[in-house]
Amino acid sequence: MGYRIKSRFIYGQIGQRLKQLRNQKGVSQKVVADYLGVDRSTYTNYEMGTSTMTYVTILMLARYFSVDFNTLLCYDLQTPN
């Protein structure tokens, strides 16, 4: 079993970003789920922020949507802490 991010707040942000990216790409949840090798309901839970995902899954999603890992995590590298 891989490492998992466990913060619900982070998952809510990632879920919103996933939905936005999926809509921009014009694909269904089923298409993304098939790419990941998971059920559509599992992917739906990712978008809703109610299911945890491994770092590998996050990396796969970043690759699928052609975005940087930090972009997928909604982390702005230009914003000072």
User: Does any domain span residue 1?
Assistant: no
Range of the domain at 67: 8-72
User: Does any domain span residue 77?
Assistant: no
Supply the pTM of this predicted model: 0.78
User: Does any domain span residue 80?
Assistant: no
Q: How confident is the model at residue 33 (pLDDT cuts 50, 70, 90)?
A: very high
**Average pLDDT along the chain:** 83
Domain count, the chain: 1
User: Does any domain span residue 81?
Assistant: no
Question: Any idea what the CATH number is for the domain that residue 67 is in?
Answer: 1.10.260.40
On the question of pLDDT at 53 being above 70, the answer is yes
Contact 59, 69 (CB under 8 A): yes
User: Does any domain span residue 28?
Assistant: yes
